[in-house]
Structure 1
Amino acid sequence: MESFDIGGRPVGPDESTFVIAEAGSNHNGDLETAKELIDVAADAGADAVKFQTFRAEDLYVEESGEVEYLDDDRGIYEIIESMEMPYEWIPELHDYCSEQSIQFMSTPFDKRSAEELAEYVPAWKVASYTSSHVPFLQHLAGTDKPIIMSTGAHELAEVAESVAALREAGATDLVLLQCVAAYPTPISEINVGVVETLNEEFDVPTGLSDHTLDPVTAPAAAVALGASVVEKHFTLDKSMEGPDHEFALKPNELGRMVSAIRDTEATLGSGEKRVLEVEQELHEKARRAIHAGEYIEQGEPLTKENLNVLRPGERESGLHPKFYNELLETTATRDIQRGKGIKWEDVDQD
């Protein structure tokens, strides 16, 4: 499993976690709000800010009824239609992201929207509910861009079918995200262990698209399990009108999430067990060694009564404790002062 680039940023198992701040449709149809969201994501230290690009007529059948979680008196078709992001925003948001040194991304939900985005996004993000839309996956795979695909509301076998379709259509750079399609997701249901399952099953970088209310726990856990990508919704204000604000992070919470991810990466380290530079002083001063527990005269046998295993502090350290039993079979070749670290030259080894 090799790393690959998203907009020049390496993504993969040996790289720092690629953090996507999901603005979604929380712009509420206002371009300046969209730019404020970009500012927040950049200030938080996210690698990318992602919007959603769709047209209701390409997404839902008409008279499709209501969805309970949206808590809105309007029908779902009308709600989705009101959340559409104008295509003419795309180049302006892309350029604004460049000015703020953050990557612009947007999830396309249909071929028409993907074509509008193609020139401006470094990778495709596939939403959970689109991940079994095989014809659309084949279209995206043919564009030679990396693909990040969420897997919410799908069984592992269904994910396997989608992965096979992508690979057969030519996709090579693929990330799979564990996701639970519940808004918000109870923290007891987020099932972060699937991050490892997806990695083992498909041998691709994996990660988490998180809808829990907690800004830290699930993202940090995912990183600890090897997540290469973490995505989470955020908003300017949770009280704003719209279906996705309530479960999104506030700006300061987004910053906390990014900090927690970077701190988690730092705590994981290299995985190589060795004496670190920060341990060096106590490695020398606090590891126990064999010292004279009392004054030992030349020719006197070394015994349990006159030997001790102590920390040397700033004194010269004696032999490693593993030689303790061997020293009990020796005699002193010189006078040994109390507290001295005992060396092989201090004893008769015959």
Structure 2
Amino acid sequence: MKRLIAIILFCCTGSIVSQAQNDLDKLFDSAAIRHQPVMYTYKGTRIILGHSTEMLRKHELDFRVDHRFGDAAGEFGGPKSFFGMDNSTDIRIAFEYGISDRLMVGLGRSKGSGIQSQLIDGLIKYKLLSQTTDNHVPFSVALMANVTITAMTSAKDSVNPAFFKDAADRMNYVVQAIVSRKIGDRLSLTLSPTYVHRNRVGYMDMNNMFALGAAGRLKLSKRVGFIVEYFYPFRTQESKDYYKSQGLSFYNPLGVGLEIETGGHVFHINFTNATAVQESQFIPETTTSWLQGQYRWGFNISRRFTLFGKKNWKK
């Protein structure tokens, strides 16, 4: 009888210990996945024209080439210009670097497309919040600021918006908040409130302009996504009416494209009515329209290199 009682007690104790171990394992597993950041809301630090909430990782160097061709259709497009490929409206070549997983900086040179050309730019971007898988943080937030300065020769006429009295006239600034949310495994959405300040503008143009960007990404496969992006600049009616009387209309930048990730490369193929690459130009100075065939295809190429260490993340 004593032996039977001992066997029963041993079995019960074993069951209790086993159950406790299982509960403990679940507790640790649950703690391990709590507040984990959502990965790959977008594949790159850019969407089409604007920034995403994605960041370069610490010690990661990104070599970028952003290119916009000429009009694909309309008066200046079609077969005579090989659907815009004979022309280039803007090109930016840049190096960007991750100081930490949350902070990156960049330095670039753009051809420029607008009042100013030969643009040198510097940017800084900080990730304030990261969306978590358990929705403890429901969205990601990044802050971006850039400054551009033109190296072009000043116009001689002081009325010309390309006349620069001093170095300050050559400078433009952009501040942007980027708010993104990844919904499920396939859909990502972004809003980008933006402030643009240009020190030198033409008559009845705006030194200060607010804009709201909206974008989305639909995952088509593990490495390919469909992306769309739109910016609405808040230009005053007086400014619109004046330039319309001068035969010039402004349009809202709209782009669509594909985002393709191939190992260390992120490659974008896109169509947009914007001719410029820089926010300080494509937001306030887009004068080309989709409806008039004034859209162009372009590409963004991002090639990343990890410096001072090995990659420690999984694809």
Same fold (TM over 0.5): no
The structure in which a higher percent of residues are strand is 2
Larger RCO of the pair (alpha carbons < 8 Å, separation 6+): 2
The structure in which a higher percent of residues are helix is 1
Using the size of structure 2 for normalisation, the TM-score is 0.28
CA radius of gyration, larger in: 1
